[in-house]
Amino acid sequence: MELKQTWMGKNERLAQLDERVKKEHRARFGSEALSEGEKAGRVRRHFDAVAGKYDFMNTLLSFGAHYWWKHRAVRMLGLNPGDRVLDVSGGTGDLSILSQRVVGPGGQVLLYDINWAMIMAGRRKRINAAARRRIRYVQGDAERIAFGDNTFDAVMISFAVRNITHMKQAFREMVRVLKPGGKFLCLEFSRPRWTWFRRLYDFYSFKMMPVLGSAIAGDKIAYSRLPETIRWFLLPDELSDIFREAGLKNVRYRLLTNGIAVVHRAVK
């Protein structure tokens, strides 16, 4: 059975970077080409629609693996008690909660997200309620972070870079608010290494996920768009170059679950 989407080539992937977006005034949301100013609104509506069932669908569609990926990522970041941490595009707060447990009462975790529906979906959850109350929530744009220079000991972003219109601008902002010597982490989806596994993943992504999204979340389009954004996204080495350009050093990454997810760690 032929799949409607394939993994994009390097030219298509790099065309999503700021220079091309600004030159052509177009940005991609999966296979859909939007005007440069339209993408943020489309992404906001997308997450408004899925916020209520976001965590449940993540667990269902990843067979629970996303929890392991997030635990692994926070361990790799190497936080210390007392650290001040910024969780950019933190959504419903999984990484914020894990980080709060490490930094303790002497530290602080700020969850920063442009989508209020996602923030509230996390804040209202009863599980980990004590940790959620200690987190500070701020609504704001990743491309214009509302904090001063050299503010945080660590900055992290997970499964959100694909939805940002100007990725390089967002990374420059994350580096700006990070203290010298501070730690940076990015957890994102990527391309599986093994060809046979990639084909199985493609079948699941394009044949099963939209069906489950429609049946359980009532939104087939949202769960068709998700695998498309992954197929258009940068590969780990390409993303590493962007991090170095933004001012980070000692950039390292680790593939998880054969490369379905990838964790990048770096320092300012």
pLDDT tens for residues 136-150? 999 999 999 999 999
Q: Which residue has the higher pLDDT, 55 or 242?
A: 242
Question: What is the rounded average pLDDT of the residues 91-118?
Answer: 96
The predicted-structure confidence for 20-74, as pLDDT tens digits, reads as follows 999 999 988 888 888 888 888 888 888 888 888 888 888 989 999 999 999 999 9
The confidence score (pLDDT) of residue 221 equals 79
Instruction: Indicate the burial class of 133 (C-beta count within 10 angstroms; 0-12, 13-18, 19 or more).
Output: exposed
Say how far apart CA 252 and CA 262 lie, in whole Å. Answer: 10
Better pLDDT: 54 or 232: 232
**Mean pLDDT, rounded, for 148-160:** 97
Class of domain 10-267: alpha beta
pLDDT of residue 5: 54
For residues 178-184, give the mean pLDDT. Answer: 98
The winner for highest mean pLDDT among 128-132, 184-188, 206-210, 211-215 is: 184-188
Examine the pLDDT at 216 and tell me if it is beyond 60: yes
3-state secondary structure of 27: strand
- pLDDT score recorded for residue 84: 98
Task: Check: CB of residue 255 under 8 Å from CB of residue 193.
Answer: yes
What mean pLDDT comes out for the span 231-238?
96
pTM, two decimal places: 0.94
Q: 185 falls in which pLDDT band (50, 70, 90)? A: very high
What confidence score (pLDDT) does residue 171 get?
98
pLDDT in tens, 66-96: 999 999 999 999 999 999 999 999 999 999 9
pLDDT of the residue at 2: 46
Number of CB atoms found within 10 A of residue 7's CB: 15
Nearest to 3 by CA among 245, 152, 177, 205: 205
Q: What is the pLDDT of residue 123?
A: 93
Question: C-alpha angle with apex 163: 161 to 168, nearest 5 degrees?
Answer: 50
Q: E strand or H helix at 259, and its extent? A: none
Sheet with strand 152-158: strands edge to edge: 136-139, 108-113, 84-88, 152-158, 178-189, 261-267, 249-256
Q: Percentage of the chain with pLDDT > 90? A: 75
